[in-house]
Amino acid sequence: MRNRLRSTIKWGGTVLTVLLLVVWVGSAFVYCGLDGLPTFEVSVSDGAFCLVCEHPWSWSPLQVELYHGFNGDRKLWSWWFNSYSGPGGWNGDVSWILVPIWFVAVVLGLPTMWLWHRDRHRTANLCPKCAYDLRGNTSGVCPECGAVREARER
Ligand SMILES: [Zn+2]
């Protein structure tokens, strides 16, 4: 059961990371977003997720619409976080935050890679802690670092 959960997380993380990288590269050419008029907006464009919030917040007339299109301006590409809060927008003040997509991919991808790495040790019968070769080891305790090996679930 724990094995299945781990494998789900591992594969889910891998698929999500790859998806994010595709979206990241794609965002150089295509932009898309969700417009919740008149108060919020979520979009993907030029290498970043963008969250926009208008003040004062109002629910009416709230209409949600999807939009998309092609980018022309490469100068807008975002490598790093950015945010703004101040005058602007449709009805007063506006706040927005840019989250670089590569960053989200790395945050998700690193633990996923670690899981893959760990599982490779497991299947190769290496100590999950110090990678000592445990083939032929019957005690379940690593002679190198003393780590107790999990019972083999299969
Ligand atoms: Zn060990």
Q: Please give the distance, rounded to the nearest whole angstrom, from the Cα atom of residue 136 to the centre of ligand 1.
A: 14
d(CA 108, CA 104): 6
Q: Say what the pLDDT of residue 72 is.
A: 64
Q: Please give the distance, rounded to the nearest whole angstrom, from the Cα atom of residue 108 to the centre of ligand 1.
A: 27
Q: Say what the pLDDT of residue 153 is.
A: 42
Q: Please give the distance, rounded to the nearest whole angstrom, from the Cα atom of residue 144 to the centre of ligand 1.
A: 5
Domain ranges of the chain: 2-104
From the centroid of its chain, how far is CA 102? Answer: 8
pTM greater than 0.75 (yes/no): no
Q: Please give the distance, rounded to the nearest whole angstrom, from the Cα atom of residue 113 to the centre of ligand 1.
A: 20
Q: Say what the pLDDT of residue 97 is.
A: 96
Element (H, E) at 93: strand 93-100
Give 75's pLDDT tier (boundaries 50, 70, 90): confident
Residues 14, 25: contact at Cβ < 8 Å?
Answer: no
Pairing status of strand 48-55 against strand 40-45: antiparallel
Q: Please give the distance, rounded to the nearest whole angstrom, from the Cα atom of residue 149 to the centre of ligand 1.
A: 9
Per-residue pLDDT tens over the stretch 7-55: 899 999 999 999 999 999 999 999 999 988 768 899 999 999 999 988 7
Q: Please give the distance, rounded to the nearest whole angstrom, from the Cα atom of residue 13 to the centre of ligand 1.
A: 27
